[in-house]
Amino acid sequence: MSVDPHVYGAGGLGQGKRPHGCVLTIFGASGDLTRRKLIPALYNLALERRLPERFAVIGYARSEMTHEVFRSKMREAVSQFSRTGLKDESVWNDFAANLYFIPGSYDESNGYRQLQDFVGGFDRGSRVPPIRVFYLALPPDLYAPVIEQLAAIGLAAKENARDGRTRVVIEKPFGTDLETARELNRRVHEVLDENQVYRIDHYLGKETVQNIMVFRFANAVFEPIWNRRYVDHVQITAAESVGVENRGGYYEDAGVVRDMFQNHLLQLFCLTAMEPPVAFSADAVRDEKGKLLRSVRPIFVDDVARIAVRGQYGPGKFAGNEVKGYRQEPGVANGSNTETYAAIKLFIDNWRWEGVPFYLRSGKRMAKRVSEIAIQFKRPPLLLFRSCAVDDVNPNVLVVRIQPDEGISLTFEVKPPGPDICVSPLSLDFNYEEGFGSAPPEAYETLLEDCIEGDSTLFTRHDWVESAWSLMDPIIQAWRRTAPKDFPNYEAGSWGPKEADEFMQRDGRRWRRP
C-alpha cells in the first residue's frame, strides 16, 4: 500500500520509496509459513524488482541445516507455492545467493550472537545502514522470549526506535484473550517502541481489502449512502470449505472465534464501517479503526445467547465425497464442544450506523470457500410495480468479494423486455484479474513490502488488539460456561446450523448464499 511517509535516518524514507538495503531474519525458517508464504512472496517481489538493491534473508530455526540445504528447500517451496512458479532462473539464482541459514535455540544466546555477527557483517561497508526486519514465524509462546533475546543482544531495542531501522513482525494470534494480549503487549513494550512492532493479519494484505477504503472514499456515488438512512444491514462472511485438517490440536484450544473473529472478521468490519481518516497514513487509519471498535455496543455474557450462534460440523459430503466430522479429525477429543462455526450480530452506537445490524459469520467445512462483505440497502419505500409480487423486488446489494475471485458487484433492478412493467435483478460485476489483466499480488507480498518500506498502515496496533479481545471475550466465556446440547449441529458441506438461519429469520432477514 505504501501510503504512510516515514523518516529513515537523515535521508528520509518517504511514500513508496524502498530503502537501499535490508536484511530480513525469519525465526521459524524451517516451518510451513516460511515455505508456503514468506519465501515465495519474497521471490515474487524479487521477480518484479520490488526489493531493495541490497537484500538478504537469514533463516533461523532449531533445525540443523547448511546454507545450501536451506536454499535447495526454498527452491522447492517457490516452485510449488509461488503464484508465478519458478519463473526466472536468473532471478532465482540472484535471490538464492542471498539466502542464509543459522541454526540456534530460541531461548539461549549462542545462536543470537551468531545472528548478531551475521547482521553486523551485512551492515559493514554500507554508506546507509540497512533496514533490519525480524519476522517471528513462530508459535505465540515464543514471541516475547525471542523479542527479549533480540533486545538483550542489541539487535532490536527501544534505543533503536528513533532511527526507524528496526522492525519486528509478529504473526497472529496475539494473545488468547484480553488478559494475555495485555501481558504480551506489556512485555513487548518493555523492550520495543510501538512503531517498531508490526502485528500482521494477512487478510489486510488482500487487494480487495485494501480497496475497501478507496472504493468508499474515492467514489462520491457511494459514500453519501453508506449509513443508517440507506443501509438495511451488512453481512460479513468468511466461509471455508476445508476442515481443521492437521490443526486439530490448535483448533481445540482456539475455536472459530479466536481463529477468525478476533482478527480477520473484525478487521473487515472496521474497514467497512469506520469514518474517513484525516489522511491515508498509518496512525490516521488505525485511529479510526480504534474509534469504531470503541463504538460497538458492549457484549455481556448474559446477552450472548441472543446475539450469537455457534456450531460444529459433523460428517457429511463435499464435492461428492464423504468427509469426516470435527470430532473424528486427528487431535480432536471424541466429545469436543469446540465451535467450528459462529454467527454474531454487532451494533455500532454512533451517528452513522445507529440501528444497523452487522452480521459476522465464519465456519469450517462450509458449502463453499468464500470471503465477502455484502452491504444490503433498504427496499424502496413505495412499491409502484403492482404486477410484481413484493418479494420479487430485491433490495440493492453491494458485494465486495475478498476470495476466491476478488472483485466487486452491485445488484440492482431493471425492467425485462416485454409489455408488462415488472422488475428483474441484474448485476454489474468487476473482477480484479479481468480488469487489470493479471492476478493481484499475494497478501504476504504486499505486507512484506510495506514492512520493508516502513509503512504500518496495514498492520495492527496494540490498542486495537485489546479492544477486539474485549469484544470477543464475553462470547468465549459464555460458551465455556454452558456446553452445547446438540453438537455436531450442521453437516459438512452445508451452510451451517439451522439455528443460524433461525437467528436471521427472527430479524426478518436471511443469509446470503454466495
Give the active site residue among 6, 20, 202, 264: 264
Q: Are 2 and 448 in contact (CB under 8 A)?
A: no
Alpha-carbon span 430 to 432, nearest angstrom? 7
CA-based torsion, 325, 259, 485, 365: positive or negative? negative
Measured distance CA(511)–CA(514) in Å, rounded: 9
Alpha-carbon radius of gyration of the chain:
24
Helix (H) or strand (E) holding 167: strand 166-170
DSSP, collapsed to helix, strand or coil, labels residue 436 as helix
Q: For 405, which DSSP code?
A: S
| Interstrand relation of 370-377 and 357-363 (parallel, antiparallel or unpaired) | unpaired
Contact 285, 277 (CB under 8 A): yes
CA quadruple 499, 503, 508, 509: dihedral sign: negative
Alpha helices by DSSP H, listed for 109-195, are 109-123, 143-152, 178-191
Q: Return the residue matching grid coordinates 438461519.
A: 501
d(CA 375, CA 346): 14
- Within a 10 A sphere around the Cβ of 71, how many other Cβ atoms? 20
- Return the closest-CA partner of residue 316 out of 488, 491, 494: 491
Tell me if residue 264 is catalytic.
yes
- Any residues with CB less than 8 A from the CB of 463 and at least 6 apart, and which? 290
Active site amino acids: 264
